[in-house]
Amino acid sequence: MDVSADDPGPTASQRSTPSPAAPGRPAPRRWRPGRRTLSWTLTAAVALVAILVAAVPVMLAQAEPPSSRALPRGARATLGLEYAALPGNAGTLDLFVPARGTGPFPVVLWSQGSGWTSDRGNLGGEPVAEELVQRGYAVALFSVRSSEQAVFPAQLHDAKAAVRFIRANAEEFGLDSERIVASGNSSGGWIATMLGVTSNEPALEGSLGLTGVSSRVHAVVNFFAPTDFLTITSQMLPGACERFNESYRVTHCHDDLQAFESRLIGASTLQNPGLAIAASPLAYIDDEDPPTLIAHGTDDWVVPYQQSSLLFAALDAAGVPTAYYEVADVGHDVHFAASHSVLDTAVDSAHLDPAPPPGQQLTWDVIADFLDRQLDRSPAA
């Protein structure tokens, strides 16, 4: 019979009492434990406590909450690869390869933007990886050193080491070493663009990780990267510098000594224009640079869209195949590429055949199609 936890149980008068002994029979004796029994019971109790104490760490370990990181669906994941021995989380690469299909797969390297303040660029790009994996691309999310850990060109040296690692280990992971794409958003887009335009700059190669392997990439996808540190403040939207100052606790917008760009080069951009120019992708562009896709929202209050306009114009002038998607009413956010809403988009292109249609909205299908064409690859091959 089931008894409720709130049931008070039988009253004192209802509780059973021993029945009197039958006439001529001795009264029944109640069992009482002897010394030997008590000794055995205590021994067993001590043993049980010891077992429980030993089990507590295991029980607690099993009770720990699972990681909140949502890995890309449809991918085989290899996490925590070390492409170079670097401090903190820098030098980490997480690889996601399509679970379906036959390799070797082209690979997109993505570093998540942080204004160069974080060494966790391998985290945050999982939605991007999921979009590209289902379109037949492997994706490598990788981290570089923050500006607190090292100043420019350390971040570029790290990124080149990541490319060399992918190329050197392509066969092991089922990757196509001749179809490598650099991509990222904000400071991650700067990393991608710098990888694209510095293939012919031996002084910027670095010596981290695996050497003797090319760090060249075959295409670039850049979401709203800063490209000219000396003009960025003058291009900010009305009221954007006030918002920027308040959000990032600076006084002089991007020109502040504690702003992202000055911290990257380890000195004031205004007082050290040579260093600022050396950290600009515009300083290295030539006609051998890979095809590049640029995307920027007109409502970006962190990095003004004119930074991408400058990059597009310079690539166009050098004869580099380039597409620039300028998206109205979109801010500093990569997720618009997965939007189901209609977004007013202006498209400029140069040296592309066929050219993207005017007004084409940027989606992950459009990005994958751009890469398929530039890499001379059949879609979802």
Q: What is the pLDDT of residues 307-336, one digit of tens each?
A: 999 999 999 999 999 999 999 999 999 999
Going by the DSSP 8-state scheme, the letter that residue 267 receives in this structure is S
Judge contact between 220 and 292, C-beta under 8 A.
yes
Rg (CA), the chain: 32
pLDDT in tens, 98-117: 999 999 999 999 999 999 99
pLDDT in tens, 13-59: 333 333 333 333 334 333 344 444 434 343 444 444 343 333 333 32
Measured over the CA atoms of residue 120, residue 81, residue 125 and residue 67, the dihedral's sign is negative
Domain boundaries, the chain: 75-228+287-374, 229-279
* pLDDT at 66 exceeding the cut of 80: no
Can you tell me the distance from the alpha carbon of 227 to that of 215, in angstroms, rounded to the nearest whole number? 21
Confidence at 379, pLDDT banded by 50, 70, 90 = low
* pLDDT at 1 exceeding the cut of 90: no
* Helices and strands per DSSP (H, E), number in the chain: 10, 9
pLDDT value for 377: 85
The pTM (predicted TM-score) of the whole model is 0.82
- State which H helix or E strand residue 155 sits in: helix 154-168
Confidence at 10, pLDDT banded by 50, 70, 90 = very low
Secondary structure (3-state) at 324: strand
Higher pLDDT, residue 7 or 137: 137
pLDDT value for 216: 98
Percent of the chain predicted with pLDDT > 70: 82
Give the fold, CATH level 3, of 75-228+287-374: Rossmann fold (3.40.50)
Going by the DSSP 8-state scheme, the letter that residue 362 receives in this structure is P
pLDDT value for 380: 57
Q: What separation, in Å, do the N-terminal and C-terminal C-alpha atoms of the chain show? A: 65
